[in-house]
Chains A and B, each alone.
Chain A
Amino acid sequence: MLIPVKEKKLMDVKLGELPSWILMRDFTPKGIAGAFQRGYYRYYNKYVNVKRGGVAGISMVLAAYVLFNYCRCYKELKHERLRKYH
């Protein structure tokens, strides 16, 4: 049975069809907002919205936030590495 590329899930797409699959995704603002919403709820329902959630759910988010800020300031932090000669 031939399913058009448009409707396949990512795991079913063959490697050669990958560029066309990426290009047919919805890049309108509504589509991008939908993608963020889906991603957020996927994380939320897996790690936070559970019966016995722990500190891991929120601390992973905070660790990612720290990493993001580190990447943001890397240019200025480069000078502060522990070296003998700068």
Chain B
Amino acid sequence: MNESLFTSFITPTMMGVPIVVLIIMFPSILLPSPSRLVDNRLVSIQQWLVRLTSKQMLSIHNHKGQTWALMLMSLILFIGSTNLLGLLPHSFTPTTQLSMNLGMAIPLWAGTVAIGLRYKTKTSLAHFLPQGTPFPLIPMLVIIETISLFIQPMALAVRLTANITAGHLLIHLIGGATLALMSISTITALITFTILVLLTILEFAVALIQAYVFTLLVSLYLHDNT
């Protein structure tokens, strides 16, 4: 039994730092760009998925919000492909690093706030005070709403990081436990089954991307329209 570093495979996989850039750019190889009217099967499948997702996602917005289509679609493709590639054995998932998720969350959130403040100043400032609050509660509520606004990017980043990291860690631990228990079987079958189920559920990491972009999208919607 080897418990030397069961948590050494945590997330800060300390490879020679330059390689990280290559690993981040790797999913782009798997997403070729369409060039003809009828492409090969890989590109057709991806085109179909992108069209399906974009229709679903951009139906809420008005014309101004739909200018963000490219940004949102590339965001969901990037996070989706990166998370799915992280499920392969031994691979490194860049989205487990909080630095990267903060780098994605803060500029996008700030962009939505800036758009709201610039084009609809009164409406976006009015978001700080929900309708129908009793008069004495107003100062406290404004403070609470401000805090909840500034927590949005942090929540976006930390949510993604924590979910992916926790999933990977669980897989490592349960896999290690299964190996160790192999010599003492009958429990092995149960734990292996738990691994399988956990992995399937984890493959709804794609659902996490959905959550990410959706949350971003809701925020954009509220700031831009209404």
Contacts and interface: CB of A to CB of B under 8 A. Distances in A.
User: A and B, one complex?
Assistant: yes
A40 B32 CA distance: 11
A44 to B, nearest CB: 7
Nearest to B15: A72
Nearest to A72: B15
Contacts of A69: 88-92
Contacts of B24: none
B40 A62 contact: no
Contact of B32 (A44, A51, A62, A73): A44
A76 B2 CA distance: 12
B30 interface: yes
Given A70-B90, A76-B9, 20 more contacts: A40-B29, A44-B32, A48-B32, A48-B42, A49-B32, A49-B40, A50-B40, A52-B41, A53-B42, A61-B30, A62-B85, A65-B91, A66-B88, A66-B90, A69-B90, A69-B92, A72-B19, A73-B90, A76-B5, A77-B90
Nearest to B40: A49
Interface residues of A, number: 23
In the A-B complex, the 8 residue pairs with the smallest Cβ-Cβ separation, listed nearest first, are A69-B90, A69-B91, A49-B40, A70-B90, A53-B41, A66-B88, A53-B40, A80-B2
Interface string A47-86: 0111111000110011001100110110011011000001
Interface residues of B, number: 22
Given A44-B32, A86-B2, A65 B88 contact: yes
18 contacts: A44-B32, A48-B32, A48-B40, A49-B40, A50-B40, A53-B40, A53-B42, A57-B42, A62-B85, A65-B85, A69-B88, A69-B92, A72-B15, A76-B5, A76-B9, A77-B90, A79-B4, A86-B2
B29 A61 contact: yes
B42 A66 contact: no
A72 B32 CA distance: 26
Given A69-B91, A72-B15, A73-B90, A51 B30 contact: no
A58 B2 contact: no
A58 B89 contact: no
Contacts of A53: 40-42
Nearest to B26: A65
Nearest to A70: B90
A4 B88 CA distance: 48
B199 to A, nearest CB: 15
